[in-house]
Chains A and B, each alone.
Chain A
């Protein structure tokens, strides 16, 4: 079984990453700040002005360590990938499936079911744990609505209709999302999803967490040999990792949304930690970003039982497991893609 390895985050501006022997050395002002053997790492995420030696990039590509470059505020810029590896037969099969509307719809359906079930579960949890603090009527209405959308999704429909249901599900879910914020409502409120740029603090948190999730899901897919650019629900578009976005859907509510909520509700992020630019975009400061990173890494170490495999694993390994199950399905070893449904 693959081990859940650590991710190195570099947020120090002006840092330089270099290869030293079989280690990654983080240098700041010419001095080695941290030196790590590569085999303990799974990915490197660089924020802002962080540079990286070409030798290290090559070395990481060789050792399947994904390097992502993000802006200082966490917007994805680029990533370093080695020569295309993995099974060419698998990838060809994936392209054939992506061209086949029925097959695409089948996987898209699984993914959407996962997303809606998990979103519904997020709502359910809050209603169950804090019946006194939330407007249970409104949230339960949304839950019922999601359930009926789920019924529609279950019966075979075309890709376009599925996308419609997905959009509707997201709308219903995000419309009550504000109700899930239980404390400091004046500072943290949610009206609607806004991105590029996020216009309020909650959206800022969500966008940042989605970017982190993206890095992990993509490197998991990369390891299985699937092409991250060719999705089933998300169509091809230059520069868009369609398959990674597909696989991400089921984790959005389960990992990112829940984490954002608990960061807010437990008071781990403060409203002072965000600032607004002239354009209205909301950005977080270094300390807040660090808090979010710590929480995210910590959450990934929590152990859960995989609902399909019935095996215990850290959450960080779920991405790899799901990617592997998807690859098995495309290869023909599994009849369907068992989406991750939170239990």
Chain B
């Protein structure tokens, strides 16, 4: 399935900046960065459970927020990109 993860982490203090880096790290392990704090993740339900828990453990619910958008498996017609930095289709041909 395809999940869009976006986050807002307060970076006023040092601890906040650390949380921000950690959130980004978890997201990178599971998905592709499409905008600064927006990740597209192609995961199966088991992987998603792990990832979600990791994210929830990192943030401070008082100041930070996470938003998950579940786009299912038929996500291709639900996503459109305009402008710079187009993402890579993780299910298409991967050729570098």
Contact = CB atoms under 8 A, between A and B. Distances in A.
Interface of A: 3, 6-12, 15, 20-23, 26, 28, 33-37, 39-41, 290, 293-294, 297-298
B47 A293 contact: no
A12 B96 contact: yes
A3 B96 CA distance: 23
Given A15-B96, A36-B32, 18 more contacts: A3-B44, A6-B90, A6-B91, A8-B95, A8-B96, A9-B96, A10-B95, A11-B95, A12-B96, A20-B28, A21-B28, A35-B28, A37-B28, A37-B42, A290-B95, A293-B95, A294-B95, A297-B93
B51 to A, nearest CB: 10
A20 B29 CA distance: 8
Contacts, number: 61
| Secondary structure dominating the interface of B | mixed
Contact of B29 (A3, A10, A21, A28): A21
A22 B29 contact: yes
Contacts of A3: 44
Contacts of A10: 95-96
Which one of A26, A36, A294 has the greatest number of beta carbons of chain B within 10 Å?
A36
A224 B29 CA distance: 27
A8 B31 contact: no
A34 B43 CA distance: 18
B88 interface: yes
User: Which of the listed residues A12, A40, A293, A297 has the most CB atoms from chain B within 10 Å of its own CB?
Assistant: A40
B25 interface: yes
Pairs A-B, 3 closest by C-beta atoms? A22-B29, A8-B94, A9-B95
A225 B44 CA distance: 24
A72 to B, nearest CB: 14
B88 A23 contact: no
Interface string B17-44: 0000000010011111000000001111
Given A21-B25, A39-B43, A9 B30 contact: no
B53 to A, nearest CB: 15
Interface of B: 25, 28-32, 41-44, 47, 88, 90-96
Contact of B96 (A6, A22, A26): A26
B43 A9 contact: no
A247 B30 CA distance: 33
Contacts of A12: 96
A28 B42 contact: no
B96 A33 contact: yes
B29 A9 contact: no
B91 to A, nearest CB: 6
9 contacts: A8-B94, A10-B95, A21-B28, A23-B28, A36-B32, A36-B94, A39-B47, A294-B93, A298-B93
Nearest to A11: B95
Contacts of A35: 28, 32
B19 to A, nearest CB: 16
Contacts of A8: 94-96
A174 to B, nearest CB: 30
